[in-house]
Amino acid sequence: MDTKTSLAPSDDIKLAPTSYKETLETLQESERKFRKACTQIQILNNQLEDIKTRYKKAKTDGFHRFRYNLRLKLAVVEGVRNMYYEYAHAKAEQVALLRHRLYGEIVIVDSGN
């Protein structure tokens, strides 16, 4: 693991469950949220490709007004995708920690760098 992400405790994240059952439930919930974040990242990647294609078409056709709007959309979607990456990485680290607590598994979370 190249970088260390700190998991800030919040109301919906229990990092120190008191029982096996609570730990298992927290693990299942964290895995569900991780999978959902990955799905959203795929959707955002598809949107980025669509916007890039439209931008290239507008550039070749000389539609400057459309290019400006598409650049703005591109920046926003990339920003949202990057936030999902960070969230998914934090969830992956939480899943790794919980799997280690429950099953003694050693899971390495790649930082993607």
* Residue in this structure with the two tokens 């969230």, named with its chain if needed: 87
For the chain, the maximum distance between any two Cα atoms, rounded to a whole number of angstroms, is: 63
Residues 24-61: pLDDT tens digits? 999 999 999 999 999 999 999 999 999 999 999 999 99
Q: Are 74 and 52 in contact (CB under 8 A)?
A: yes
Residues 4-22: pLDDT tens digits? 444 444 444 555 657 999 9
